[in-house]
Amino acid sequence: MLTMLGLIAAVWALLPNNARLGFRLRLTWVDWCVISGVLLTIHAFYFEPVLRDVGVFPVLGPWKWGFDKSTTQYLLFLLLAVFVPIRALTTRRLTRRRLSIFNRLSTSLLHECRFDELAVLLDRHLVPAIDVAMSEGVRNRVAQFIQPPRPAFQVLMRDDGTLTLGNVGELGWIARAWFWARETLADLIGPSESLRNRARIIVKRLLTSRQLVAYLATARPYLCLQVMERATLLVEEFQDEFFDALLGNEGSIFYIELKDNQNFVGGQGHRLYIPDENRLLNFYLKDVELAGKLGVYRSVGEAVLAHIDGDEALLKKLNGPQLQYRETTKHRCPVYAGIWFFRVMVLEGLHQRSNDHLWLHYMPHFATRLVERAREVDELDGDDEFPTPLSYLLYQLVATTAEWIDDAEHLTGEEKNVVTPDQTDGNHVYISFQAAEALGRVMQPILLSDRVTSRVQEQLLTSALHMLRRLEQQDHLSALAASVRTHLIYPYGPGHCEEYLPLLKACFQAQDHVLRADLPTFRLELDEALEGAQ
């Protein structure tokens, strides 16, 4: 027994401070009472003759089942050895005392950049910490009543748990006991205001660390999703940092899930099936209102724009030869991943009849930035359908925007319900009208740029005009077709198209004669716009 106690003492002395804090965090005062009781019982058995002589140890009856004093002591040690790790693996509610230990331990690991250990700690305690920080309800109001504010008394609680009376100094033991009892009772009923404030400070300090969020995004992404909705209320930029880290790591779940999300839902136009294992996409898009509420389009859109503007290595690849980009490399490209995420998200919004356009208007921004970062046209570029990955991304922008418009046909059903631009309830296609507005703004920088080959410009316009022809064949979609024509001709209104209209006319004239013949209204409106601009 002395050997075991000596070994325990030696191990405890050699443990680093963080390990000891972690051990204290895992055990409650009840656990310590059980451990102390078992150890006292073991020592009582060992000193039984002495204790019996002084009359403080009862006379036990005969031993049964082959047990004696030594085997009983061994069994108690064995039970204690099993009890401690089992209790240490159980996550418990963070109390005022345990929150202080959690604060010290998490701060130490964060400052030492030991993110692997900190991630394990947060796996267990981040959700309870946020629960404490954001807890509201009747229990909290009762707890607040038990611990009312006393500004005139000026009782101050320090981070280490000590109580002081203003600048007078530490309180006496009676006052400390009184306030401790009230704090304890308040915490038993519900987290008090002071406890919630401390929890908020701890959570904010952790979630505002860019290095930690970047590590969690790749190592514990589903933990981030678990707390995302509440964490963004405490730390507004948490989601932005999360997606910035995901897009910056080719092995993240963002790329994996988007690559595995390529199958169509049968009979629902271009809508894609989202399997259950794609937990990130399901989290945001199962009910697309959550994506709108959290503003995930801003987080992804700004991260994509940042890569276009600042990632020189990426731009070098996008302006290089195609090679295997369209087959494999695109699945590791942050720009393609961002476009594909918008494709899936906006299609979900359209098919879920959302009246939020989910900022599909990021597509014109993508087009403008890509065109600005494109290299000069090479004399050999005209021989290829898409001479560079960047030109293929421009095609994806146009094709994706056209799909959001095209799916209006599938959503209006066999009843052929007439759609209007301002309809936002019932079986509406509000997103399709917004996409019609965005399509012209995607095409304008492409046609105005001398860094995009004529062949690519004509192909992209062909994609948009084929979609327009399908719309014009459906009488109930005439308002949507008119919106497409208007915004292709006037992307930003009649006063901002002097240079654009001649280029659009030339590109239209280069189209197949059958396609041009099938779009007489578009040709007429384009000619009228040119006459009005002269």
pLDDT band at 152 (very low <50, low <70, confident <90, very high): very low
Q: What is the pLDDT of residues 312-321, one digit of tens each?
A: 999 999 999 9
pLDDT the model gives residue 362: 97
Rounded to an integer, what distance in angstroms lies between the CA atom of residue 186 and that of residue 449? 67
Rounded to an integer, what distance in angstroms lies between the CA atom of residue 402 and that of residue 360? 12
Q: What is the mean pLDDT of the chain?
A: 85
* Residue pair 393/339 in contact by the 8 Å Cβ criterion: yes
Q: Give the chain's largest Cα–Cα span.
A: 118
Q: What is the pLDDT of residues 434-454, one digit of tens each?
A: 999 999 999 999 999 999 999
> If we measure between CA atoms, which residue out of 493, 486, 381, 501 comes closest to residue 439?
486
CA-to-CA separations, 508 to 82, 106, 141, 470, 497, in angstroms, rounded: 79, 62, 68, 17, 16
* Phi, psi torsion values for 365, nearest 5 degrees: -65, -40
pLDDT the model gives residue 168: 44
For residue 31, what are its two tokens? 């656990």
For residue 86, what are its two tokens? 């089992």
Q: What is the pLDDT of residues 259-304, one digit of tens each?
A: 999 999 988 899 999 999 999 999 999 999 999 999 999 999 999 9
* Phi, psi torsion values for 264, nearest 5 degrees: -80, 150
For residue 140, what are its two tokens? 């909290």
Rounded to an integer, what distance in angstroms lies between the CA atom of residue 408 and that of residue 403? 9
- Chain CA centroid to CA 60, Å: 62
> Among the listed ranges 57-71, 121-135, 226-240, 472-486, which one has the minimum average pLDDT value?
57-71
Classify residue 456 by burial, with Cβ atoms within 10 Å: 0-12, 13-18, 19+.
Answer: buried
pLDDT the model gives residue 471: 95
For residue 210, what are its two tokens? 């860019």
Classify residue 369 by burial, with Cβ atoms within 10 Å: 0-12, 13-18, 19+.
Answer: middle
DSSP string, 462-518: HHHHHHHHHHHT-GGGHHHHHHHHHHHH-TT-GGG-TTHHHHHHHHHHTS-HHHHHT
- Single-letter amino acid code for the residue at 154: Q
Q: Within 10 A of 149 (CB to CB), how many other CB atoms are there?
A: 10
Q: Is 319 helix (H, G, I), strand (E, B) or coil?
A: coil
Looking at the predicted structure, is the pLDDT value of residue 207 above 50? yes
Looking at the predicted structure, is the pLDDT value of residue 41 above 70? yes
Rounded to an integer, what distance in angstroms lies between the CA atom of residue 153 and that of residue 151? 5
Q: What is the pLDDT of residues 157-169, one digit of tens each?
A: 555 555 555 544 4
Please tell me the pTM assigned to this model: 0.82
Rounded mean pLDDT, 380-394:
89
Rounded to an integer, what distance in angstroms lies between the CA atom of residue 213 and that of residue 207? 6
> If we measure between CA atoms, which residue out of 304, 311, 313 comes closest to residue 334?
304
pLDDT band at 401 (very low <50, low <70, confident <90, very high): very high
> If we measure between CA atoms, which residue out of 532, 522, 527, 374 comes closest to residue 439?
522
| 53 vs 392, residue with greater confidence | 392
Residue ranges of domains in the chain: 2-88, 96-210, 237-533
Rounded mean pLDDT, 56-68:
67
Rounded to an integer, what distance in angstroms lies between the CA atom of residue 99 and that of residue 182? 17
Q: What is the pLDDT of residues 343-366, one digit of tens each?
A: 999 999 999 999 999 999 999 999
